[in-house]
Amino acid sequence: MGLDPYTQKLLLDWFLDLDTPEGFRAELIEGEFVLTPQPDGHHEHCISRIVRQLHRRSQLDVLFSGNKGLRLGAAHGHPVDHVIPDGTIVAQEARAFRGAPPWMPCEGVTMVLEVTFTRPKIDRVAKRRCYARGGIPFYLLVDRGTSSTTLFTEPDGDYLRSRTAAFGRSLTLPDPFAFDLDTTDFL
């Protein structure tokens, strides 16, 4: 059951005024406050390997931002989601992130990236639904719990398609990226 509009606004106001403890990041996902501690080295290693490949091998000239807040539409009686992907990828535009508010809208975002950490179910389910509702074309999930990487595509309330590769196998990223993502280093 969803929240009434007054409670939604109150929850959103509390979230936006939240004084996040040092060393944590705060998100509002499907009506739930989520605090996440600083990631470990393996988490950051996976992200750096993906970003490196995106810059070197992608057909698309991309800009990457780590931990950029996205504001995504409300759904199911919950307030507007405020989600911080581990990585936000946009097609190269001179001002893609310059001048963007702390919580920017997701229009123009080509792909988001998550690497599971302390609460993997949030990355696997809730964030996946948020990104799909936001119309983000690609969601790349590095799932350390299942030792696999999944690319979700065709957003329509949720992603309609997905492709998964075990760590050590390559995962084909379709146009506009058009290359095989090497996951050997994720092992």
Check: pTM over 0.85? Answer yes or no: yes
Q: Does the pLDDT at position 144 exceed 90?
A: yes
Please report where in the chains the tokens 């302390």 appear, as a residue.
118
35-58, pLDDT tens digit by residue? 999 899 999 999 999 999 999 999
Count of structural domains, the chain: 1
Peptide bond preceding 176 in cis form (omega within 30 of 0): yes
Residue-averaged pLDDT of the chain = 90
The helix, strand and coil proportions of the chain, stated in percent and rounded to the nearest 5, come to 25, 35, 40
Print the domain residue range for 66: 5-186
73-113, pLDDT tens digit by residue? 766 666 789 999 999 999 876 557 778 888 999 988 999 99
Question: Torsion-angle region of residue 108: left (phi > 0), alpha (psi -120 to 50) or beta?
Answer: left
Question: CA 94, CA 55: separation in Å to the nearest integer?
Answer: 16
Structure confidence at residue 9 (pLDDT): 84
Q: What is the CATH number of the domain that holds 123?
A: 3.90.1570.10
